[in-house]
Amino acid sequence: MSQWLVFTITMAAACLIVLGIVVIRDRRNAPHSNPDETPDVIEYMTMMVGVVYAIVLGLAIAGVWEARNAADDAVNQEAQALHEVRERVAVWPAPVRDRIRGDVDRYVQYVTASEWPHMVRTGTLTGRGTTLLETMRSDVSSYTPANDHEMQAYQPLVDQVAAVDAARSAREQAATPTLPGVVWLGLLTGAVITVGLIFTLQIRRSSRELLVAGVFSVLIAFLLCFIWDFDAPYGRVTTGSVPAFAQLIAAAHSG
């Protein structure tokens, strides 16, 4: 099911539930309710709860946004470092160059085809990916440069392999959800309380009041869906930031 369809259904359901409760409540209490009888203290408390919840939502959005950007940066750094390894090894003899480029291609293809879906499902990397990276590191570090030109490429290649390892570790750290369960409990409880306080204001079935109640509930539902989607930095499907690696594969085979 498409994420946008899930978002739409969630927002529509939230809006219909709130509007339905407003209509049913107004029908039952119409002869006895008077909006002018709402105490001022309830209006102030409703406003304060709304402000506090808005601050909490803002902090949650900032947190998941920053985590998403950090996760994308880790993927791009890993892909760029792999690309540098493949290009910088061109000055080494053909057998060594082809072996290291083969290591890079096997690592990239394994990450995109097998490790990435596993990472999205479990939040962890695979031992096979670590083994392929260690093979690449061994092939790079075990070569002894034959001249100064090859020596100039040796240390940068070692550094790029280390950069791949560091970016891979950062990718694993970013694979788990950003917000802990207790934060989600607070967000959902706050949403229920904030929307529930609407009913303390004795709103009626006028088009203006129904519109405000509907828009308010849809806004909160949308923000919660937004946070939920960004809480998984690499997405809740198996694609995520895979294109960075897919582009590397295309460049490798076209080069």
Tell me the average confidence (pLDDT) per consecutive run of 10 residues in the chain, 255 residues long.
68 76 64 56 79 92 91 88 91 93 91 87 90 94 88 92 94 87 91 80 67 83 88 65 60 53
- Looking at residue 33, its pLDDT comes to 53
The one-letter amino acid at 199: F
Residue with tokens 């390894």: 85
Helix axes 40-88, 94-110, angle to 10 degrees: 160
CB neighbours of residue 124 within 10 Å: 12
List all residues 6 or more positions away from 152 whose beta carbon is below 8 Å from its beta carbon: none
- Looking at residue 246, its pLDDT comes to 65
The CATH number of domain 65-178+237-255 is 1.20.120: yes
CB neighbours of residue 214 within 10 Å: 18
Whole-angstrom distance, CA of residue 172 vs CA of residue 124: 6
Contact by Cβ (8 Å): 54, 195: no
- Looking at residue 238, its pLDDT comes to 45
- Looking at residue 20, its pLDDT comes to 77
- Looking at residue 239, its pLDDT comes to 47
